[in-house]
Amino acid sequence: MNIVNDTTNTASTWGLYDQMRPQEIEAIQKKTPIAYLPWGAIEYHGSHNPTGLDSIKAFSLCKDLAEKNGGLVFPVISLAANLIKSYPGVNFPKHSIEFSEKLIRLACEEYLEQLVVQGFKIIVLLSGHAGEPHLTILKTVAEAFNSKYPDRRFWALAEFDILPDDLLVANHSAIGETSLQLYYAPETVDLETLPKDRSITLELDAVSGDDPRLATKALGEKIVKLFLRNASLIIEELKQKFL
Ligand SMILES: [Zn+2]
């Protein structure tokens, strides 16, 4: 006997926007019009981490968030200003692809506008790069969009914004970022490249923050789990208000 098909159990609740056909996108968007925009960078992250750490981190966290809360993840934007390349007092000219603050602002404005046109009601912009004013520019643009479109919500954040300081603070390739990288893509990390006979410094190792030699996959997992819990609580509130 043929029973009415219940597609709600089998239909996806989330997906990668650029890898889906329109029917699949629309089925998800109808239920959960949330877009996740991972904003990354190509930036020198010392000898022990890959140049795409910020991009990998932002994209992976967005995927996990979408899996938990529903919605569509856009391709990572590896476009950043204020990289370690131009950080005062250090000399790391190689392996960073840097853009102007002006371009970051414009790219962000245009991307958010396009997401409005595509009908998204909640836009989560997660920045993997915490350089300043890069991060503030993204947040400022999101706030301007909140004023412009009061029936939608644009939430720009960095992962450490919603985590306690004793777990994670803004850092560059230090214990926090390195642990996250060990969790999401361990094959891309090599702690053996770091010196064993001296302290780790910003000037010599391009590390800002606590010792990355103490990074572990377990710490990365702990950071991810709490991030997902805290972010999901906020997304749940946004869903109540804006969907
Ligand atoms: Zn980084």
Is residue 3 included in any domain, yes or no? no
Give the Å distance between the CA of 33 and the centre of ligand 1: 29
Query: How far away, in angstroms, is 144 Cα from ligand 1 center?
Result: 26
232 Cβ contact partners less than 8 Å away, ≥ 6 residues apart:
65, 68, 69
Q: How many domains does the chain have?
A: 1
What separation in Å is there between the alpha carbon of 176 and the centre of ligand 1?
10
Where does the pLDDT of residue 9 fall: very low under 50, low under 70, confident under 90, or very high at 90 and above?
Answer: very low
10 located within any domain: no
Kindly give the distance from the C-alpha atom of residue 217 to the centroid of ligand 1, in angstroms, as a whole number.
Answer: 17
Q: Is residue 157 part of a domain?
A: yes
Does the pLDDT at position 7 exceed 60? Answer: no
Mean pLDDT (whole number) for 16-40:
97
Which residues, in sequence order, are CB contacts of 138 under 8 Å at separation 6+?
A: 39, 104, 108, 125, 127, 156
Residue 240 lies in a domain: no
pLDDT 10s digits, 116-135: 999 999 999 999 999 999 99
For residue 69, the CA-to-ligand 1 centroid distance in Å is: 25
pLDDT band at 3 (very low <50, low <70, confident <90, very high): very low
The whole-number pLDDT of residue 11 equals 73
pLDDT tens-digit readout, 102-117 = 999 999 999 999 999 9
> Distance, CA 139 to ligand 1 centroid (Å)?
17
Give the structural domain span for 230: 15-235
- What CATH number is given to the structural domain containing 167? 3.40.50.10310
